[in-house]
């Protein structure tokens, strides 16, 4: 055994990397927009989850419209575990977005028959809720099922196939979302959730 795990910092490497660290720190201080309220996670829903899911669905569908010859997503399902820090009231800096979403999760779209949508909603109900946008339903605590499912204001159509946006982590079965593996088709959007939030925040800041 040696004390190599506690080696001192190589001063040469530190001096070489210091300008890059300073530049990165400066970039993280860039103010993108201003929020009128603080946003935190919550169950069955919270302001932060609502914000991230709304923005991700909107920016993801803009990406589809500009780069893909497929229909836009009907709704989105995300998870609270991917949201690592609340957003403060007041100025929102680039670093704040990185702290909320430090992961490299990317948006994907899955084609899911109505049967699978019902199962996904039931699973979300059993978890006590998760961030969604474009889909609404009630959580029946007694049965642990989702009732009154509406997608973009219309009741669930049992004969329809829906396009569900989500994070690649969840699409791969993360956070126990194994049901996503039963989807018929998968389209990778190549857009990170973090970048979707940054794009939206910059646009919002330019409108202020």
The predicted model scores a pTM of: 0.87
DSSP label at residue 163: E
pLDDT at 116: 98
pLDDT at 63: 97
pLDDT at 144: 77
Residues in the chain predicted with pLDDT less than 50, given as ranges, are 1-4, 6-7, 13-14, 16-17, 19-20
DSSP label at residue 73: P
Q: Determine phi and psi for 8, rounding to 5 degrees.
A: -70, 160
pLDDT at 207: 82
Tell me if 31 sits within 8 A of 92, measured CB to CB. Answer: yes
Cis previous bond, 100, omega within 30: no
Tokens of 97: 């977005």
pLDDT at 142: 77
Q: Which domains does the chain have, with CATH numbers?
A: 11-207 (3.90.780.10)
- From residue 182, how far is each of 79, 115, 118, 201, 203 by CA, in Å? 19, 11, 13, 34, 36
Residue with tokens 């704040």: 96
Tell me if 67 sits within 8 A of 107, measured CB to CB. Answer: no
Exposure string of 17-45, with b = 16+ CB inside 10 Å and e = fewer, is eeeeeeeeeeeeeeebbebeeebebeebb
Biggest CA-to-CA distance, the chain: 66
pLDDT at 22: 58
pLDDT at 3: 46
Comparing C-alpha atoms, which of 135, 136, 156, 163 is closest to residue 64? Answer: 163
Residue with tokens 């040469």: 12
pLDDT at 12: 53
């Amino acid at each position: 055994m040696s004390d190599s795990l506690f080696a001192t910092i190589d001063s040469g490497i530190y001096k070489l990397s210091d300008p890059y660290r300073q530049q990165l720190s400066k970039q993280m201080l860039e103010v993108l927009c201003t929020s009128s309220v603080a946003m935190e996670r919550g169950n069955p829903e919270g302001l932060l989850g609502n914000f991230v899911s709304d923005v991700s669905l909107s920016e993801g569908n803009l990406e589809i419209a500009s780069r893909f010859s497929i229909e836009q997503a009907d709704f989105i399902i995300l998870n609270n575990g991917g949201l690592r820090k609340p957003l403060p009231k007041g100025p929102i800096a680039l670093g704040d977005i990185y702290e909320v979403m430090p992961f490299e999760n990317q948006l994907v779209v899955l084609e899911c028959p109505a049967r699978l949508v019902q199962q996904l909603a039931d699973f979300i109900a059993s978890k006590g809720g998760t961030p969604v946008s474009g889909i609404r339903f009630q959580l029946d605590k007694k049965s642990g099922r989702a009732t009154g499912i509406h997608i973009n204001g219309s009741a669930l159509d049992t004969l329809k196939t829906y396009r569900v946006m989500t994070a690649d982590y969840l699409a791969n079965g993360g956070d126990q979302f194994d049901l996503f593996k039963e989807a018929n088709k998968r389209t990778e959007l190549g857009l990170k959730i973090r970048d979707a939030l940054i794009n939206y925040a910059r646009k919002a800041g330019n409108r202020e």
